[in-house]
């Protein structure tokens, strides 16, 4: 839907852009992890999303900021010994917001493939759909939504053979969040080690720049302490305005991350939307 607008349409230009950000084609990933990445136009947020995906390209270690030169060394072809060889990742589960609907729900895809040639894990879809009446298999919401689309080229470039599980959610009622959390726990508990969870979201957004910054700082602070109760309280009180905040709440509530903590992978960036809203973007990895 937004190819050629949010990100390059030409495959060669697209690959060059991804490589310029330090990503490598088909690098083996090891161990199940979760990342948080923005879904704006690549000129604004692409390099930030790349930081998140670099985190799961087999890299070990966690730091507040990637060490200077680590991303650049990959572009120059210098081996980075932090990359692992085993390839145990079988699927990428993508969680994004359905922006264009007032109807509450969780939507899976009924398609066998998503562009660019990514196979949908239909068995996982069936398992998730069986967990709750709030979870529906329906492609229509996916056809007009960009929150996952802009990240699919990164998935394809980094892990071309994995299957994907695209999930959109509209609404943030506690019952809806719990429905998704329970489904994720039931279906992924035994296979989390072979799954990467990607949450597509802003960090905060608000017409008041000061409020947007305050919300961004609170979001980051709670996320890095992995305090699920504090996160859900802030979400319910409206102090978390991340457009994918409810999806992140579902992942935290599921308990699938265990004792793992989210870490900031780069400094947050700020942009101003056409309507004047201040938006903060960031990348986090667990």
Angstrom distances, CA of residue 216 to CA of 133, 186, 190, 227? 33, 31, 33, 16
Asked whether residue 2 is domain-assigned, the answer is no
Asked whether residue 155 is domain-assigned, the answer is yes
Asked whether residue 56 is domain-assigned, the answer is yes
Asked whether residue 54 is domain-assigned, the answer is yes
Structural domains of the chain, count: 1
CA dist., res. 73 & res. 100, Å (int): 40
Question: What CATH number is given to the structural domain containing 72?
Answer: 3.40.830.10
List pLDDT tens digits, range 110-121. 999 987 789 999
What single string gives the DSSP state of each residue in 110-171?
--SEETTTEEB-HHHHHHHHTT-TTEEE-SHHHHT--TTGGGHHHHHHH-TT-EEEEEEEE-
Asked whether residue 6 is domain-assigned, the answer is no
Asked whether residue 3 is domain-assigned, the answer is no
List pLDDT tens digits, range 45-73. 999 999 999 988 854 333 334 333 333 33
Supply the range of the domain harboring residue 261. Answer: 11-285
Asked whether residue 66 is domain-assigned, the answer is yes
From the first residue on, what is the mean pLDDT of each consecutive set of 10 residues in the chain (286 residues)? Answer: 64 89 77 84 90 77 36 33 51 91 88 89 96 94 84 91 94 95 97 93 96 96 91 94 95 93 92 90 94
Q: Give the global pTM.
A: 0.86
């Amino acid at each position: 839907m937004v190819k050629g607008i949010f990100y390059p349409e030409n495959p060669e230009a697209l690959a060059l852009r991804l490589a310029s950000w330090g990503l490598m084609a088909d690098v083996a990933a090891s161990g199940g992890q979760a990342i948080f990445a923005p879904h704006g136009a690549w000129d604004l947020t692409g390099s930030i999303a790349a930081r998140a995906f670099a985190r799961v390209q087999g890299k070990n270690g966690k730091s507040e900021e990637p060490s200077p030169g680590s991303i650049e060394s990959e572009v120059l072809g210098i081996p980075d010994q932090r990359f692992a060889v085993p390839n145990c990742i079988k699927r990428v589960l993508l969680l994004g917001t359905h922006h264009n609907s007032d109807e509450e729900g969780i939507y899976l895809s009924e398609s066998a493939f998503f562009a660019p040639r990514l196979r949908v894990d239909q068995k996982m879809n069936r398992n998730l759909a069986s967990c709750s009446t709030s979870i529906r298999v329906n492609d229509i919401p996916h056809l007009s939504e960009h929150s996952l689309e802009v990240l699919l080229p990164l998935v394809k470039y980094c892990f071309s053979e994995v299957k994907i599980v695209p999930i959109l959610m509209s609404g943030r009622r506690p019952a809806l969040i719990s429905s998704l959390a329970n489904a994720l726990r039931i279906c992924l508990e035994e296979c989390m080690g072979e799954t990467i969870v990607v949450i597509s979201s802003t960090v905060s957004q608000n017409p008041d720049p000061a409020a947007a910054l305050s919300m961004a700082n609170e979001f980051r602070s709670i996320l890095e302490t992995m305090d699920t109760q504090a996160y859900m309280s802030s979400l319910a009180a409206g102090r978390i305005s991340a457009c994918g905040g409810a999806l992140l709440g579902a992942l935290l509530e599921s308990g699938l991350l265990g004792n793992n903590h989210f870490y900031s992978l780069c400094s947050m960036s700020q942009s101003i939307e056409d309507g004047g809203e201040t938006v903060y973007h960031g990348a986090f990895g667990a």
